[in-house]
Amino acid sequence: MNWLDVGTFLFMPADGARMVAGAHTRGAGAIILDLEDAIAPARKDAAREALAGSVATLARHGLTVVVRVNNDSDRLVDDLRAAALPGVHAVILPKVEDAALCLFADGVLAASERAGGLPQGGIGIIAVVEHPAAMRALDAIAAATPRVVALGFGSEDYASAIGTRATFEAMAMPAQAVAIAARGRGLAAFGVPGSVGIIDDEAAFKALARSAAAFGYTGILCIHPRQVAMADEALAPSAEEVAAARRIVEAFDRSVAEGTGAVAIDGKMIDIPVALQAKRVVALAERSAARRPAA
């Protein structure tokens, strides 16, 4: 399974030794070691110094590891260099407004990979859009460099930038624009079209996760462990959806083998686009089952 298909990404501070030690029990598809918002300004340097140990701990458990760096002139380069470690799959580049930042990060990572004897291009970039200025450059950001493997949507910062709250009504349009740009370039897309701070309202968070999936998002960024199970459940197709999809796939494949073309099943005509949608549901169900911990 491609690491980009892990479904749920859980943030935790890069210097949170106790949280990192128990990360493998949280059920998240990937862990994001945060050097940015989860770290107090006075602890930024200490968190960076703790990063290598945290990555090693997660790698021992076979976890997918992503590092969120700071996007400012004082810390960006040092954070990127520190993140170029064995076991790191990608860096999250926050507050991206144009392709230039991705290209700059690409250069720093390439030099760091060479210096550390790592495979060239092995560390991807997840470019996160958090400001309306980026809307004009979405396609350029997505196509900036092959190292960009996904786009993310930062709803809370985006809402602050336009002077509103991160409600579904306010975030739906920009969230969908980010998903379209990502999927149009064959990239993954992470985020939700609303507030990522919802923890206690299970129905509300699941609704956001389902909307994200409907928009084309492939994964959910979780800021609390409680959100992981909610997001996984919302992203997984229901048993009824999977059963219907399997019937469609079987009927369509049979009709193709018999040379009869389109076929009707459950009162619906099945052609190639519908069959492809059904195959996607089956594949998603299989990936969800593969991510589920063994009983």
Let me know: does 248 contact 271? Beta carbons within 8 Å.
Answer: no
Annotated binding residue at 157? yes
- Nearest to 191, CA basis, from 150, 154, 143: 154
DSSP state of 118: P
Q: Which residues neighbour 37 within 8 Å (Cβ) at sequence distance 6 or greater?
A: 68
Which residue type sits at 189? Answer: A
Instruction: Give me the sign of the Cα torsion angle 226, 228, 229, 231.
Output: positive
201 assigned binding-site residue: no
- Residue 183 marked as a ligand binder: no
Counting Cβ atoms within 10 Å, is residue 267 exposed (0-12), middle (13-18) or buried (19+)? exposed
Tell me the C-alpha distance between 93 and 127, whole Å: 5
Report the distance separating Cα 102 and Cα 124, nearest Å.
10
- What distance in Å separates the CA atoms of residue 179 and residue 213, rounded to the nearest whole number? 10
Measured between alpha carbons, how far is 65 from 70 in angstroms, rounded to an integer?
17
Any bridge partners for residue 8, and if so which? 220
- Asked if 81 and 67 count as a contact pair (C-beta separation under 8 A), the reply is no
Is the Cβ–Cβ distance between 206 and 234 less than 8 Å? Answer: yes
Using an 8 Å Cβ cutoff, are 63 and 23 in contact? yes
Helix axis angle for 155-162 and 168-184, nearest 10°, is 120
Residues flagged as binding site for substrate: 68, 130
Residues flagged as binding site for Mg(2+): 130, 157
Residues flagged as binding site: 68, 130, 157
